[in-house]
Amino acid sequence: MKECQKSACSFENWYPKLRKWSIRAEFEMVPDDVLEFLRSDGVTVPVEAAIRRKKTSYVDDITFKEWDSEEDGDSDDEMPQPTFPGFSSKLSESLERFGGNVFIKLNWSAPTDAAWIATNSSLKCSNLQDIYLLLKGSNKISTDLDTVSGSSKFFVVLKEWQDIHPGSEFRCFISNKELIAVSQRNSSEFHLHIQQNVCTIVSSINDFYRSNVKNVFPLNNYTLDVI
């Protein structure tokens, strides 16, 4: 993918153009020290995101190991637990504005592969700990951080949480500014209502694309997800 194409698909560039038709969201630029932390090995959270509780699982053990070392005394071999008060405060403020529950991603990818590590085993983030655990535990996020050019800026995107039925998500394929195909995004399950209403669904999506996206988004060839 060319750099200009990558840029067009970056959330902070397309969202202002399509805000009216998108789930409500906010985004914050990720400072260099936080990027360094996200790229580092290990799964831990900053001081301000740590929630003290009894360890009950392997995830708890790797996540809260710093607390045990604090209780057992300082060690010269231990790295200090990181802290990002300014950035974390901005995330907390966004979380509060969205009623305490958000879906997070970076510019391009969401940590959908890391739900297992979250305290609620979900992509729904209710606190800073959930946010940092998903970002640190995701291979998709790690790939973005390692492969995107050094000149690119990274943003954490916080979207208002919505419970979306998998059978209402569709992926659209655009070629030369024309909608050429639509598929259900959740391809692992059969949804009877899609089969029963396929013509209406495709027609509605095509009308939406032509009226609201076709002449707004700059690329000629891309995929578009709709609900």
The residues near 159 (Cβ < 8 Å, ≥ 6 apart) are 23, 24, 25, 98, 102, 103, 104, 105
pLDDT at 73: 46
- pTM value is 0.82
Do β-strands 25-29 and 222-226 pair in parallel, antiparallel, or remain unpaired? unpaired
Q: Are 219 and 4 in contact (CB under 8 A)?
A: no
* Total count of residues recorded for the chain: 227
Closest-CA residue to 78 (of 44, 29, 127, 32)? 44
pLDDT at 177: 97
Residue 158 DSSP SS3: strand
Q: Rounded to whole angstroms, how far apart are CA atoms 50 and 46?
A: 6
**Domain extents for the chain?**
3-160, 166-226
* Cα–Cα distance, 102 to 156 (Å, whole number): 12
Q: Find tokens 């392997």 and name the residue.
A: 58
Residue whose structure tokens are 């943003």: 155
What pLDDT shows up at residue 80?
77
In tens, the pLDDT along 47-104 reads 998 875 544 444 555 544 444 444 444 544 566 789 999 999 999 999 999 999 999 9
> So what's the pLDDT on residue 59?
52
Which residues in the chain land under pLDDT 70?
52-79, 149-150
**The two structure tokens encoding residue 133:** 């655990």
Beta bridge partners of 25: 159
Whether 162 and 23 have beta carbons less than 8 Å apart is answered as: yes
The pLDDT of residue 158 is: 98
